[in-house]
Amino acid sequence: MPMPPPKASTEGPRDRQVFHEMGQIVRALEANGPAGPDDLAKEVGAPYWEKDRFDRALSFAVADGLVTRGTDGLLHPV
């Protein structure tokens, strides 16, 4: 009897590059302090990344507890 398929995941598969991008986000926040998403994207050079890579990496960083969103709308390192 075949095995059932794996459960659907709410997050897509992570590749090595997204871990690097998450690290860039965290290091930028640690070095420069809290920032809004648009400013943070500029700090890490996200305009030169592939489409949607910044949003994906930021979402993973928040989900993993590496970055928090403040009530002021700024992103803070943990």
CATH code of the domain covering residue 21: 1.10.10.10
pLDDT score at 6: 59
Are 75 and 40 in contact by the 8 Å Cβ rule? The answer is yes
The whole-angstrom separation of Cα 47 and Cα 18 is 15
Mean pLDDT per block of 10 residues along the chain (78 residues) reads 60 76 96 96 95 94 94 93
pTM of the model: 0.80
Residue type, 76: H
pLDDT score at 8: 53
Domain that includes residue 35, residue range: 16-77
Give me the number of domains the chain comprises.
Answer: 1
pLDDT score at 15: 77
